[in-house]
Structure 1
Amino acid sequence: MATLAAECDRFKIDVIGISEVRWNGTGEFTNQKGGVLMYSGMPDEQDPHIRGVAVYVRKNVKHSILCWKAISERIIVVRFRAKKFNMSLVQCYAPTEDSPLDQKEVFYSALERTLSEIPRTDVIILMSDFNAEITQSIELGSLFPHKTCHKVTWKSPAGNFESQIDHICISKRWSKVLCDVRNKRSADIDSDHYLVVAELKFNIPKHRYEHPQHTRRTYNTTKLNVGAVKNEMIERINNVSLMEDASIEETWLHIKTNLEEICKDTLGYRKNEQKEWLSANSWELIAQRRSLSRQIKKAVKSDKRNYYVELSMKAQAASEKGDMKELFKLTKQLGGISFQSSAPIENENGQLVFAKNEQAEVWKRHFEKTLNIIHNESGELTIPRHLNPNRQIDTRAPSVNEIRGVIISMKSGKAP
C-alpha cells in the first residue's frame, strides 16, 4: 500500500484501479497520505484470499467521489463528480481461460448488468485485467501508436514471454477525451503486470485547502494527566476576573479569550502527524530494487551483445578455414531462437478456426481430400483424375549401384 501510494505520487496518477487485491470483505481504507482505497473481495473473512478488486484515489481528488459500490470480488464501481459530466469508473478482474464456464458466465452477466445500470450521461471508463490474450499474428491492440514494449502489460514469471491482457476502455462518444494509453515499465510494486496509464483530458475539480488560520485545531488534553499542568491551569482559570456592567456577549467574549489563552499556554495544540510505519531503510531498499532492475536490464543487453559478437568471430574463423558445417551452425545461432507460433486457419467455408482440436480436423479433411490414394476392391491403384495418368514410375527393385550412388551423393552432416 505504501509503495502504491508513492508510485501514484511519482507518476502523478489521481485514480488507479487494482486487480487481484486478495482482501476479503468490502470496505474503505485511508492511508497516511490521505488517499482512499475502496476494495471489494470475497464475501467472508474465512474465504480463501483470492481475486479482489480495488480503486485507489489520491487525496487531491477524493472529495469528488460521489459514491462507490462493491458488485462482487471481481467488479467494483466508483462514481466521480466532474465540472460538466459525471464519470463512472468500473474496475474488474476477469476469469482466466481455464476457469469453469459457469464462473465466466456469472462474471460477464454481472459486468453487462453493471454497465447497463450506469446513467447514460456519465463518462464510462472500464479498466480490467481481462486475462484476454491477443493472437501473436495480430498487432497488439491500441488506439495509439507505440512501440511493442510500451503496449505489453504482463510478463511471465520466467521473464521469457510478454502479452497484452490488461485494457482500458472508454465510452465511444467520449473517445476524444482519451489522449493516450501506454504502460509505465519503471513503476514498481513487485508485480508481474506493468502499470497501464491512460491520460484523459477531463476536468475533475481539485481540492481547495483552507487557510491554516481557519483550520480547526484541538488542544492536547492529555497533559491534564500531569499534576503540575493541571494545577497551573486551575489556578489561572480561578484568577480570571469578570467584567462589571458588561453585556452577556462582552462577558462571554472576555471569558472565551482568557480560556483560549490559558489552554494555549498550558496544554498547547495536539499534533496530528502520523508516523509512517515504513522506515527509511525500507524505502532505500525499494529504491535499490528499482535501480537494480535497471542495472539487470543493462547487464542482460550487454551480455547478449557480447554473446553475438563472440559468435560472429567464430563464424568468421570458420569461414576462413572453409569449415562450412560450423559456419552454417553458427549462422543459425546468430539468426536467433525462433519460437513456434500458431495462427488461425480457414475451414472449407472460409471461416477462421482458432481451437487446436478444430484446426486438426480441418487439416485432416484437407489432406484426405488432396493426398489420399484410392484403391479398388481388387487392391489395384486407382489414380485420381486430378493426377497425371501418363506419369511413368519405375517399380523395379533398386540395384546395388543405384543405392551406392545415392549414398555417395548425400550431403555430409545430414541424417541418412
Structure 2
Amino acid sequence: MNDSRVQASTQKLLELLEELGAYTASGPGVTRLLYTKEWRQAQIFLQQKMVGFGLKVTTDKVGNVYGRLCGRSPEEMVILTGSHIDTVVNGGKYDGAYGIAAAMVALQDLQMNYGQPKRTLEVVSFCEEEGSRFPIAYWGSGHVTERYDGSEAATCKDADGISLQAAMEEFSFLQGVTEGNGARNDIGAFVELHIEQGIILEKTDTQIGVVQGIVGQRRYMVKVSGAANHAGTTPMLMRQDALASAVEMLYVLEGAAKLAGEPLVATSGKLEVHPNTPNVIPGEVLFTLDIRHIEEDDLECFCAKLFSRYYEITAERGVTLEVTPVLHTLPAPMDTKLSTALENICRQQGKTYRTMVSGAGHDAQLFAPRCPTAMIFVPSRSGISHSPEEYTSPKQLAAGLEVLTAMLYELAY
C-alpha cells in the first residue's frame, strides 16, 4: 500500500483499539472478564463496527463474534483471522484486541482495494482465551475446535461461586444468525496477529516475529491440607503446617525449573492460605502451577518428577496433597508453508523479521492440529504485557497490519 493508505489504515486501527479499551471495569489498565457487563458491551460494539465495515455478522452460543467477507467460491474453505476480546485483571489494551482490530481493518482494506475475494475471509473475536475469571481457558476457540462441548459450563465456577453457565445466560447477546454449538469444520486456515508479550523483538530491533510454534502448557490447582492449630501452644515438631509445606514445594519448583534449563519455565502465581490468621497455623493452602515447554515429552517428565517430590514432602510433613489439572495444551507447531509465506512477505515489504517460539499460549495453538495455522508477532515495549504498561508503537502496529493484510491477500485472492 502507498503511504497515504498505510496512514489511513493505521489511524483506523488506533481508533478501534482506543474505543475497545474504553470497555473496562474500574481500575488501572483494561479489565474485561468473560461474561461481564464490560465484555458484553465490547462484543456488541464490535458487532456494530463489523457491520459498518461491510461484513456479515454472526455469533455462536458462547459469544464468539464473526464478521464475514463472502468469497466468490463459497465451496472453498474459509480463511479465519482474529484473536480474543477478554483480558486479565488490570491488563493492557493490545493483548487480543490488536489481533481483532487489525483483522477488521485488513478485511475492509482488502475489500476496498481488491473487491470480493475468491475465498471467504472472516474475522473472529473469540469470547475468551485468558482463563482469568473461570478456571478454564480458550473457551471461545475451544468451542470452534471442539476442545469443549459446553457441558463444562455447569460445574465450572468463578471465585464468587457463579457458574460459567449462569454467567453465560445472564450476559447472552445472541444477535443475528446463531451458528449451532460453535464447532466449525469449514476453516481452511487460521492466521493470528498478536503482540509478542516478550522482549526479544525489541532487544533485537526486529519488526516482525514469525512464530514457528507455541509451547505446551500444564496448569494445576494444588491443595495442601494440614491441621490448623494455635500458634503459641503447638510445638514445632508436632505441627502439620500446610503453608510451610507449600513453601517447600514452591522452593522445589523453582530449583527444578532452573535445573531443567531453557526453554522450560514454571510459575506459581496465586496462593490462598486458610484460615489466613496471624496467630493460627495454616491448615489449608491452595496454589497454582503453570509449567511450559516446547517439547511434550520433556514437559511430561518434568511434571511427573515434580509431583513425585511433592508427595515425598507431604509424607515427611504429615500433610495431604490434592492436585487438580486445570489445563493441558500440547505444543503446537505452526504450518511451515504459511510461515515461509510470512517470511517472503517480510522480505518483499523490506521488514526485518526473525523466526521464534511463543512462550505464551494463544488461540492459534488450538487450530494448529486442525488446519494450516500461522502467527505473527510485533514488539512489546520492555517485554511488558498483562499490565497497564503494555505498549506497542503505532509504527510497529502498522507493520504487523501490513504483513497480515498481505498474508490474507495471498490466501484469499
TM range (shorter): under 0.3
Larger Rg: 1
Higher relative contact order (CA 8 A, sep 6+): 2
Per residue, is there more strand in 1 or in 2? 2
Give the TM-score normalised by the residue count of structure 1: 0.26
